[in-house]
Amino acid sequence: MPWRQSRPPEGLTLEMDFVPSDEDPSFSVTIYYQLYSGIPAISKWLTIQNLGKETITVNQFTSEILAVVPYEDPVEWRDVPIIPPNLHVETDYAFGGFSHKNSSKHSVYWTTDPQFHTQVNYANRNPCLLEVCPPQGPAQDILPEGTFESFRAFELLYDSTNRERRGLALRRLYRIIAPWITENPLILHVVSTNPETVRNAIDQASNCGFEMISLSFGSGINMEDENDDNYQKCENLADYADSKGLHLGGYSLLSSRRIQPDIDNIVNPKTGNPGDQTHGYCPALASKWGQNYFRKLRAFFEKTGFLQFTHDGSYPGDVDAAVRPPLQKGVEDSQWIQWKIVTDFYKWQRSLGIYVRVPDYYFLSGSNECGMGYREVNWSLPRIQQQIHTRQNIFDGTWEKTPSMGWMFVPLTQYHGGGDAATIEPLNQHLDHYEIMLAANLLFGVQAVYRGIRLYDGEKTKEMVSRMVALYKKYRHILESDLIHLRRANGRTIDYMLHSNPKLPEKGFLSVFNPTPKSITEVIELPLYYTGLTDTAEISQRDNLSTTYRLDRDYCVELPVTVPATSYTWFVVR
């Protein structure tokens, strides 16, 4: 199987109960702390229990208030922002964007501390007080004997300001609190639902070692179609994929979609009308249409046996001004209600083992993968430029994501224009480029949207794809380990990154690319500190005989590297 069973993280849980001193208290509050083994991180949340006979309402809550030593404390503030403390904080009350920086703005606030009278900043405006709370609401009613549960905050104490070390710590946190992000299946995204085309794609994926097929955007798949013929057709294809050792999945669009009539779209509080929000338009999840939409999706997965889901344009956090009984009162509770609806759906899919791709930061609610970080129109550029920005995007995206957390793109067929110069089909006519694109993703442990109708168009192409997949699977564990960022692609010289994992027999894996029309020989100063090696390293190029190198006092070795023109090579460190 391409994924692992998720297990609860190891550590300790502390529960602190608080009850008012009234003779007959109407509520109690429990604050929870979870401390994780092997990492300086905690999670925190609270619950409120209704002990009385009347309904109570939680209008607002703040689940964390933490005064932290400032990272910097300048005398003058003026227009240059003060850097907040060296502490990572995010919550599962997250939506929108490819980064935790976008999602955290909905719930994590660094504010000034009115009790910090001795700070150096003359205006007392140092943002060193952490507050974790929803921006509004939740305005949730608690019935007698009922319980309200807040979202969870996760706090990671960095031990350094070094960008790589901070990234390593954050990536380790994700592996602990959301272990499903380590699932990393090879997926062919098919742009057709024609049964013959899909079966041929399944056969080719099976032959080459791919693990999933996804009926992609533009394929014609419609998970909202409740016709028995649609269910039967998709179930038959899923059964055929299963017989070949693969899983089948598909695509559905939510946000950036306008539902007619406008009554079922989120109403912008600023204008009183739908539209002009994050994605332009977004369906209201608490509307009758929204509830029907998720009912249809659940029915589709239950009836077809699909085990992969691409949910495009998920709920982006837009506030809805409409009253939508019985679920939503209006502005104050709309964000909370819609977040609950979509995250309950993802958690339900997670419980069924469905692999979930969402181009928004829903990792802590069960999503497996988000975009690595790219602009879709980049894939209409000429092929050679796609090679460069593929490696640039992976270099940039893996500072805070593990390789398995972000997907890239390989347009086997045309995508967003660009014509023949931007696509790989016919595959056998662009075999060298196809191999470089496979190498640029797989040798960095990253999966891409291989989007088309097939993986090969002849034996030579089939051999190349199978060879690249076999190489990836041979070194899968080290290739899915952390990347150490060494030289970003610039199109003018070689670029390279190093996978490191001291717990594996293969301590490191170095991938080197040469985009230029001339062979390049260079001596690389290779940092091996994060491999765990201290004295010597055995390094082999492309599975050839290894050479012994002695590490210097900075845990580096000088590695001679030669890369042919417009090609790549790789080294294994043991």
Residues 415-463 pLDDT 10s: 988 899 999 999 999 999 999 999 999 999 999 999 999 999 999 999 9
pLDDT of residue 22: 86
Please indicate, yes or no, if residue 279 is contained in any of the structural domains. yes
Please indicate, yes or no, if residue 426 is contained in any of the structural domains. no
Q: Do 342 and 222 sit in the same domain of this protein?
A: yes
Q: Do 224 and 319 sit in the same domain of this protein?
A: yes
Q: Do 19 and 119 sit in the same domain of this protein?
A: yes
The CB density around residue 302, as the number of other CB atoms within 10 Å, is 11
Q: Do 356 and 503 sit in the same domain of this protein?
A: no
Please indicate, yes or no, if residue 112 is contained in any of the structural domains. yes
Picking from 251, 288, 71, 280, the residue whose alpha carbon sits closest to that of residue 166 is 71
Q: Do 91 and 146 sit in the same domain of this protein?
A: yes
Q: Do 147 and 19 sit in the same domain of this protein?
A: yes
Please indicate, yes or no, if residue 433 is contained in any of the structural domains. no
Q: Do 328 and 250 sit in the same domain of this protein?
A: yes
Please indicate, yes or no, if residue 419 is contained in any of the structural domains. no
Q: Do 122 and 221 sit in the same domain of this protein?
A: no
Q: Do 350 and 296 sit in the same domain of this protein?
A: yes
Q: What is the pLDDT of residues 355-401, one digit of tens each?
A: 999 999 999 999 999 999 888 888 999 999 999 999 999 999 999 99
Please indicate, yes or no, if residue 454 is contained in any of the structural domains. no
Find out whether the peptide bond into 274 is cis, omega within 30 degrees of 0: no
Please indicate, yes or no, if residue 536 is contained in any of the structural domains. yes
Q: Do 172 and 216 sit in the same domain of this protein?
A: no
Q: Do 219 and 151 sit in the same domain of this protein?
A: no
| Mean pLDDT (whole number) for 183-194 | 98
Last residue of a domain, one of 326, 343, 362: 362
pLDDT of residue 105: 77
Picking from 40, 11, 72, 35, the residue whose alpha carbon sits closest to that of residue 159 is 40
Last residue of a domain, one of 344, 362, 380: 362
Q: How many domains does the chain have?
A: 3
Q: Do 170 and 32 sit in the same domain of this protein?
A: yes
pLDDT of residue 3: 45
499 is in which domain, residue-wise? 476-573
Helix (H) and strand (E) counts in the chain: 10, 29
Find the CATH number of the domain harbouring 481: 2.60.40.1180
Instruction: Say which DSSP state 265 is in.
Output: B
Picking from 125, 103, 131, the residue whose alpha carbon sits closest to that of residue 112 is 125
Please indicate, yes or no, if residue 527 is contained in any of the structural domains. yes
Q: Give pTM, 2 decimals.
A: 0.95
Are the beta carbons of 310 and 252 closer than 8 angstroms? yes
- The Cα angle at residue 372 between residues 370 and 375, in degrees rounded to 5: 105
